[in-house]
Structure 1
């Protein structure tokens, strides 16, 4: 018997009496409201409760809104595939997918998102289009995130169903980075940006 066969035999012996794993119970609620206005209002309420700053605009107004939001960002980090039209009004330095030292000296990072959950006020990034790698949104002190109304769902199960691959690295953002010290005092920016700006893009003006 080879060493490999011996190890496998021992594993089979050890697992022989192991109980069969039960099927998970999936009787939880999987869907919520689909009304766009209810979703928008609920998400905005949750984001502001988490101390995020919310800016609402239209597709045509997005470049102008971003120009105002990023007015004090002299050095801006962005994913390599960020739509160029988003930065039409920005006059500062733009760093596309910089390394960690470049991120550390950037004033802010601008990204898109994969999906947002209205009921929890959570934005999810899955390294998809306009999102970049995880380090982009973890190192700079400020994160500006563009979110479109059609990306907002009500519940966590609905959000997971929209992700490219739930097994890929994900970043779940519920407000600026914050934790509490041993005396329960809120401390911001320990493991991510201290400031979160969400630019919520609604329907075009009719």
Structure 2
């Protein structure tokens, strides 16, 4: 009796080898009978047309974004851009040390904190900071999600993962209604980080624990 599990495994591996090795026999000549599956059809399946009629319209509703962010337990501040530094100063204690990406606007940084530009800081130095301040690439109202794409004002992904507090500044023009709209503004090959509230997880009894895989506290500053 043929072991179906072993046979399936060998069949898959054989197909992978054939696909990766340009000198391998043509797929049409591949004989599954050698692996005990004489009846296996090795022909490639016909292409499947995937519908792409996603909803791409809808207003960039700031109230909806605030509602979703708050529901995810993020702290939201709606201020004018000249007030960003004062807002950050109110969030962080005087003398706090924060990591910032190299392209963050200097006007956003209050004099009450010590900013450490990320010029190749190691993970220990980043984790030891009191927080990180970044900009964003886009924010999604429907899901309460902020997306970072590694641009100079957002920095490396590790910056938003190791410090216990993340302050993210979002410009009004970066807010979109839904995920399909967001994707039209993002470049797929960039290091995208999708943030929906502070890092959190729940165990089997649904006990919520924050700060497991990233910042325990998220502040989003929306520029009005």
Q: TM-score range by the shorter chain?
A: 0.7 to 0.9
Find the aligned partners of 1:111 and 1:29 in 2 and give their Cα distance: 30
Once the two structures are TM-superposed, the CA of residue 132 in structure 1 deviates from its matched residue by 0.2
TM-score by length of 1: 0.87
Give the RMSD, CA atoms, in angstroms: 1.8
Instruction: Give the Å deviation of 1:141.
Output: 0.7
Shift of 1:95: 1.3
After TM superposition, give the deviation of residue 74 of structure 1 in Å: 1.2
**CA 1:72–1:195 in 2, change beyond 3 Å: closer, same or farther?**
farther
* Aligned residue pairs, count: 192
Of 46-55 and 69-78, the range deviating more from structure 2:
69-78
The answer to whether residue 214 in structure 2 is matched with residue 184 in structure 1 is no
Q: Which runs of 5+ in 2 are unaligned?
A: 1-20, 31-40
SS of the aligned residue for 2:124 comes to: helix
1:40 and 1:118 in contact (8 A); partners too:
yes
Change (3 A) 1:5 1:158: closer
Aligned to 1:166: 188
The 5-angstrom pairing of residues 191-206 of structure 1 reads 191-202=213-224
Normalised TM-score (structure 2): 0.80
Gaps in structure 1 of 5+ consecutive residues:
none
> What is the CA–CA distance in structure 1 between the aligned matches of 2:216 and 2:156, rounded to whole Å?
19
CA separation of 1:56 and 1:5: change in aligned 2, threshold 3 A = closer
Q: Give the conservation status (yes or no) of the 8 Å contact 1:179–1:188.
A: yes
String of CA shifts for 1:166-193, please: whole Å, max 9, x gaps: 2322100000001111221111111111
Structure with greater contact order relative to length (CA < 8 Å, sep ≥ 6): 1
What is the match of residue 67 of structure 1?
A: 89
1:50-107 CA-to-partner distances (Å, cap 9, x unmatched) read: 00000110022222222222235611011011111111x2322211112201111101
Given candidates 37, 48, 53, the residue that maps to 1:27 is: 53
Displacement, 1:16? 6.1
Provide the rounded CA distance (Å) in 2 between the counterparts of 1:74 and 1:114: 26
